[in-house]
Each structure stands twice: as C-alpha cells, then as structure tokens.
Amino acid sequence: MPDDVVAARAAAEEASAFAHPPVGPDVTAAYGDHPDQVIDFYVPRVQAGPGGSVPLVVVLHGGAWRSPYDRRHITPFADFLARRGFAVANVEYRRGADGPDAEGASPVAGRWPDTFDDVAAALDALPALVREAVPQADSRRTVLTGHSAGGHLALWAAARHVLPADAPWRTGGSASLRGVVALAPIADFEVAGKLDVCGGAAGQLLGAEELFEERRPYADPALLLPTGVATTLVQGRTDLVVPQAVAEAYADAAAKAGEVVGLTLLEDVGHFPLIDPTADACAVVAEEIAQLAW
C-alpha cells in the first residue's frame, strides 16, 4: 500500500478514535493525594458469561506518558468494555511535566520515578477500592490492558515480581492476574529508540540520556521476562505510531526467555482502531480480553 494512502488512513483512524465524547465513570476513587492518583470505575452494563461476579479489566491509557494525554481519551473504550459485561478500572497516573522539552518540540514523556510509583500504587490499592466501588467485580479474574504507552505500563505492572531486587516496586510474587492484553505497546525500549517511537518518549520516560541504560532494567518489559503471566499483544500491521517491529521484538525476547506470548496482528489496521469502539479491531481486543477473563 502506498505510503500516502497509509498516512491518510492513519489520520482518519485517529480522528475517528478521538471523535467520541468522554464517558463519565460510575465511581471515582483516589489511591493517593495527587490529583492524578485516581481510578475511574465503570460497572458492567450487561450480564455476559455466567451469572454472579464479573471479571475486572484494568485499563492503562496511552499518550506517550505525556501530560496532555490523560485518561479521558480512553473512556469510550472503557465504556465499550463495560457494555461487554466487564467491570472496568481506568487508571490515571502522573505523566510528564507540563510544557515543552528542552528543544521546545513537545511535552516531556513521563516522570521518573513518579509514573512507575503511581502505577504500582494503583495496582496495590485496587483490590480494596474495587470491593467498595464495584462489589460485583471479581479481583481474582483481573485482566490488565493498556494502549501504546499504557501497553508498556500493563506489561511492566505484570512483571513487578521479576524486577531487580533493589527496585522499590518489586513484589514478592507474581500478580494475581488472568493475563495481560497489551495494545500496540511500547514493549521494547531498544527497538523503540531506534525507530524514534513518539519522538524518543521511552528515553524521556527514564529521565535522562545518560541514565537510560542504568534505569532500563527497571522499566523495559523486554528485559523483564519470563513473567509467567498469560500475555497477548494486539498490533495493527500498518501502525505508524508504534510499528509492528516493537511488538515483534518483545515476543522474540519472550521466546528466548522460554515464554510464549501471543501476537495478534491485524491487517490494514493502524494505531488507534484498537481503542475505537466503532472499529472492528476494538471488537477483536474485547474478544482477546474475554478469552483470558472468563
């Protein structure tokens, strides 16, 4: 397919995904004192699967860990999952500082260590918050999902038990998860850097160029394998934002570590249909989550 056609399609896909108005949550709960340390909960809109309790889907939004992109843009996706019968927890977290980077190009991606502090704290607080906010949700049937930078955070959160021993976020055992469905994730920082994904966002997330290699073992999912957690990546073949090569690099790293990671590649799909409720790709994502959750 000609490059100009792919670019035009990508622009249309992005416009479609961002055309949906935000969907307000049923309950919002704080897991810390900062305004960004909150989780929005969506109760299931229908009964799907066996009666009784329902699975919980934890959503981590993307946006290259940059301040302008908060959880609101993924609320239509959260509502879409709730209408599929899931309880949903849409996690906010601290992102990069407001304002452009040193070159004035774009906001800085992420905060070290705050972004990781928040995701770890949110996941640790989640079981108690879920019992209050969505009592019909079964935390034992939790699936983590995230898009783009949020896909990175989902993979990272599921791998906290294999972090270096001195990592403040390390847990004593693997998370009680049914699995992870990572959507076009920034899953391998070395490959993402070579491809300049999101303007070098992974490097910015780790704080400084000279600290990249030092901090990467604490943050790069491709170095945190095997996890022992069922994991599927969903990736559009024509994704111009986070190219297919990034997901493939993570899957290859997992295989070398002795772990099988699912990789669902979608033809003629770019970056944003994965979270666009009107796109067929979004239905594929919901099915991948359902296969792990139910």
Dihedral over Cα of 102, 103, 107, 108: its sign: negative
On the question of a cis peptide bond just before residue 21, with omega within 30 degrees of 0, the verdict is no
> What pLDDT sits at residue 147?
98
Q: List the helix and strand counts (H, then E) for the chain.
A: 9, 8
pLDDT (mean) for 263-276: 98
**What pTM was estimated for this model as a whole?**
0.96
For residue 245, CA distances in Å to 146, 148, 186, 217, 285 come to 18, 13, 10, 20, 19
Residue 48 has pLDDT above 80, yes or no: no
> What pLDDT sits at residue 83?
97
Distance in angstroms (rounded) separating the CA atoms of residues 171 and 120:
10
What radius of gyration do the chain's Cα atoms show? 18
Least confident of 72-81, 102-111, 190-199, 249-258: 102-111
Distance in angstroms (rounded) separating the CA atoms of residues 168 and 158:
15
> What pLDDT sits at residue 49?
61
Q: Where are the beta strands (DSSP E) in 111-163?
A: 137-147
Residue 176 has pLDDT above 90, yes or no: no
Binning pLDDT at 50, 70 and 90, where does residue 213 land?
very high
> What pLDDT sits at residue 51?
64
Least confident of 26-40, 55-69, 102-116, 183-197: 102-116
Instruction: Tell me what the pLDDT averaged over the chain comes to.
Output: 94
> What pLDDT sits at residue 5?
86
